[in-house]
């Protein structure tokens, strides 16, 4: 059993969130503290705390997150301009919500390296 996070409440529609994408396995919603003009989080509906907890059998879940990002980028017309997708892990990665999520950032020029 893993610990419930705020993202479970979002999946269960228990707190108001701007949902922009949904399919059978993935939910996409606007980040509450956006770091770019477009900042969406794609999360699996299955609770997995960190990348470290992923099993080989769950590899399709990570694929589903990337395919959701791909489809959303095309849907909002940012696919050609480009975007950044990031998944943070644990303390050094600055993960704060322990339910894996793919950050999708678009609408501005990104810089490298990230901070
Ligand atoms: P991370 O630091 O990679 O774990 O990212 C967690 C993200 O969740 C942060 O960018 C937060 O701004 C975002 N976040 C936390 N609570 C909410 C919420 N209720 N609705 C939308 N985004 C949230």
Mutate to test the pocket of ligand 1, among 97, 101, 105, 114 (most ligand atoms within 8 A of CB): 97
Q: Which residues pair with 86 in a beta bridge?
A: 103
Tens-digit pLDDT profile for residues 72-100:
999 999 999 999 999 999 999 999 999 99
Put residue 34 in one of left, alpha, beta given phi > 0 → left and psi -120 to 50 → alpha. Answer: beta
Pocket of ligand 1 (CB under 6 A): 6, 15, 17, 31-33, 41, 88, 94-97
Q: What is the pTM of this model?
A: 0.98
> pLDDT-derived band of residue 62, with 50, 70 and 90 as boundaries?
very high
For the chain, the structural domain boundaries read: 6-106
Report the pLDDT value the prediction gives residue 1, as an integer from 0 to 100: 67
Tens-digit pLDDT profile for residues 7-16:
999 999 999 9
Tens-digit pLDDT profile for residues 18-54:
999 999 999 999 999 999 999 999 999 999 999 999 9
In whole angstroms, what is the distance from residue 104 CA to residue 86 CA? 7
Tell me which CATH code domain 6-106 carries.
3.30.428.10
DSSP letter at 38 equals E
The tokens describing 69, both together, are 């990002």
With DSSP H G I counted as helix, E B as strand and the rest as coil, what are the percentages for the chain, rounded to 5? 25, 20, 55
């Amino acid at each position: 059993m893993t610990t419930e996070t705020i993202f479970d409440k979002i999946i269960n529609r228990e707190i108001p969130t701007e949902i922009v994408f949904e399919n059978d396995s993935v939910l996409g919603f606007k980040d509450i503290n956006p770091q770019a003009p477009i900042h969406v989080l794609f999360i699996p509906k299955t609770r997995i705390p960190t990348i470290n907890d992923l099993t080989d059998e769950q590899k399709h879940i990570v694929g589903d997150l990337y395919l959701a990002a791909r489809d959303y980028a095309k849907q909002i017309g940012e696919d050609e301009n480009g975007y950044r997708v990031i998944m943070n892990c644990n303390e050094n990665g600055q993960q704060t919500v322990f339910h894996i999520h793919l950050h999708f950032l678009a609408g501005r020029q990104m810089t490298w390296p990230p901070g």
